[in-house]
Every structure is written in C-alpha cells, then in structure tokens.
A = this chain, B = another copy of it.
Amino acid sequence: MTVTKPQVMRAVDIKGGSGPASALFINDATPVPEVQSGECLVKVKAFGINRGDILQRDGKYPGISHLTKIMGLEFSGVIAWINEDQTGSTKYGASEETWKVGDEVFGLLVGGGYAEYVNVNTRMLVRKPKELSFEQTGGLCETWFTALQALYFVGGYKSGSTRSILWHAGASAVSVAGIQLSRDAHLPAGKLPSESESMHAAPKVFATARKQEKCDFVVNELGATGAVDLSEHPDKRSWAAKVRELNGGRGVDLVIDFLGGPYLEANLDVLDIDGRIVQLGWLDGPIAPQGVNIASILAKRAGVQGSQLRSRALEYQIGLRDFFVGQVLGGLVEGRFKHVVERVVPWDRVQEAHELLESNATKGKVVCVID
C-alpha cells in the first residue's frame, strides 16, 4: 500500500494570533506538520478541550511556539503515514508494538491536536481498544496522565504508607480520575477489588468541592471515603479540621491541589507528618496570603511540589504513557474507571466548546470531533 503524505490541511487557528473564543476559526490552508525521526502522522478523529488550550489561545502560554502554534493536548485518530524508520517494531514499556497505517490510536500531545493531522512520536501512541470510541479516547490522556503523575510520579504514592489522599476540586476532570485511581491504588493493576487479596488496606480518599451535590457525586459515584463542601467552610482552617475529623483525627498523607495560593496554609494544616502537597494549579490565584508557616513545614517534614505535564521531557511523558497502559487502560475498558464525556461538539463549533469550558459549568470532558 503506497501512502502519500498530505501537504496542506485544515486546523483551528486564532485571528490575530491570540484572542477570545470568538477569534477561533478553521484555517484550511495550514501546512501539515513535519514528521520527525521516530514519529508518525495521525489523521485526527477527535480532540479534547483543556484549560491549557485557553491559556494558549489568550497568548499566555508561549512556551511551545517553536514546536507548533496549534492548540490541542490530546487526540484520537488513525495512523495516516509513518516515517520509514518506524516501520519495524518498537519495544517499549513491557510490550512490543508494531505500528502500521490504518491503526487506531490515541495519545497525549504537547500541542497540535486541533487539526486534521498531527505528528506523534510512536512511543507516545496508545492503541485504541475496540470497546472505547474515538470520542472517549480523544479526551482521555490529559486528564488521566495528569492524575497518574500527581498520585504516583510526583505524589510518590506507596501502598501501605500513603494511607490517605485529598483531592481538591473533587468534581473536576483530573480529580474525578484521581479519586478513582486513589481508591484502587492498593490493588495490583488489572485486578478487580473482588478478585484481589491486596496486602494493604485501601487508602482513604477525600475530596473538596463547592457544592453539596458534587460532594455526593464523588462519594456515591466515585467511591471517595468522604467529601467536604468548601462553601460551608469560609474559614480555611475549618475545612482542614473537617477533613481531619473524617480521617479519624489524623492528617492526610497527600494533598493534590489546583486551587492555589489561598489554600497553601490550610493544605499544610491538613497534612500528617511526612505529608506532601502536589501543586497542579492555581484556579483561585497564585499568591499565598501572609501566614505560610515554615515551622510547620519543618515540624511535619512536609513537602510542597509543583508540577506540570506539558513542559516535561519526552522520556518522562513516555514513562507516564507506559504506566497508563499498564495501570489504567484495562480499568477503563472494563468500566471500573469511569471517564465522563459531557459534550461532543463538531469541530467547526470549536468556539462554543471553548465557551462551554470557560463557563465552568461542565463536570465532564468537552470533546471536538472532526468530520
């Protein structure tokens, strides 16, 4: 089968280089990206919408402009063209994979997913299981890789010693994934709780949210141990005390925070000895108010670790990809891990998709599909 590499494609572009959602349009004269050594070209079927895209659209994420100016951190699609050096098999993770034109795949990107074609390193590809749709897999990776990274790579989760975990913004996509991962983290990969005799007790998993309805959701639908409605605790020390109460009077071993500066001190309050805060965002602003107490950092031997996914080196991202395939993909196929796609939008309505995310009204993922 002879395949010709396409030269021109349609891709989402931004009038004037940056601007609001209304500046988005489909540019049908976009050059198809170069395919580097080790890469293939994927014809995109679906892509997820992420907050990082909105930062990039607003001109606040210049970091990757040397790689691509096109938004899009995740995709699903079909391999359209493979660089010659990739026609053999590639060994990575525990498995050997051979890729060919026509294979259905999905994956994480540093950018470029809002387009008909995207270039991807083959070691970053995940084979799409037939049980999952392009719509589901197109918006999977950013969320689940971020949650995996926070829990294991940065949070240092260890069965037995990480006994309790708190996810802020519990109904956000990353925390929905993270709460489920935490709930089952003590189990060997691929085992149902009923089949497994784990050496360790399940970790206790807590969440915060800003509505009682969201708290009920994470407990009843996701299996969190308990959740605290922050709107009932305007004093930050008070929600930390409530989490401790739910945890039998103990602090928690790991906090994953997206809220930012205003929560730093209470996050330190809620920690147990040797606890760690993984800082992934600052939805409520970046500046900590006066009061962060270094003495408690020492007395608790506490750690605060900032992290990001997009800026990571390729090898790090490949490690996450392999971990995802081993630890998570089976659970998504069998339905043990729930991934909620809230809205699927044709990509010529990408403006609407951005506005939807900016409204903060969505609970699940917003995905665009390419006709």
Q: Pick from A113-121, A168-176, A280-288 the stretch touching chain B.
A: A280-288
A279: nearest residue on chain B (CB-CB)?
B297
A311 close to B (CB within 8 Å) = yes
Contact of A290 among B287, B304, B308 (CB under 8 A): B287
A292: nearest residue on chain B (CB-CB)?
B288
How many angstroms between the C-alpha atoms of A311 and B301 in the bound complex?
A: 9
A300: nearest residue on chain B (CB-CB)?
B306
A333 close to B (CB within 8 Å) = no
A297 touches B290 (CB 8 A): no
A306 touches B297 (CB 8 A): yes
Shortest CB–CB separation between residue A314 and chain B, in angstroms? 15
A: number of interface residues (CB 8 Å): 31
A307 close to B (CB within 8 Å) = yes
B294 touches A287 (CB 8 A): yes
A304 touches B297 (CB 8 A): yes
A344 close to B (CB within 8 Å) = no
A276: nearest residue on chain B (CB-CB)?
B305
A261 close to B (CB within 8 Å) = yes
A260 close to B (CB within 8 Å) = yes
Whether A264 touches B292, Cβ cut-off 8 Å, given contacts A281-B298, A303-B305, is yes
Residues of chain A from 35 to 89 with CB closer than 8 A to chain B in the complex = none
Residues of B within 8 A of A302 (CB): 305-306
A293 close to B (CB within 8 Å) = yes
Whether A308 touches B304, Cβ cut-off 8 Å, given contacts A264-B292, A291-B287, is no
A292 touches B292 (CB 8 A): yes
How many angstroms between the C-alpha atoms of A288 and B308 in the bound complex?
A: 24
Residues of B within 8 A of A260 (CB): 294-295
A299 close to B (CB within 8 Å) = yes
A interface residues (Cβ-Cβ under 8 A, vs B): 260-261, 264, 279-282, 286-308, 311
If A287-B291, A303-B303 are given as contacts, then 4 extra A-B residue pairs at C-beta distance below 8 Å, sorted by A number, are A279-B297, A294-B306, A297-B304, A299-B306
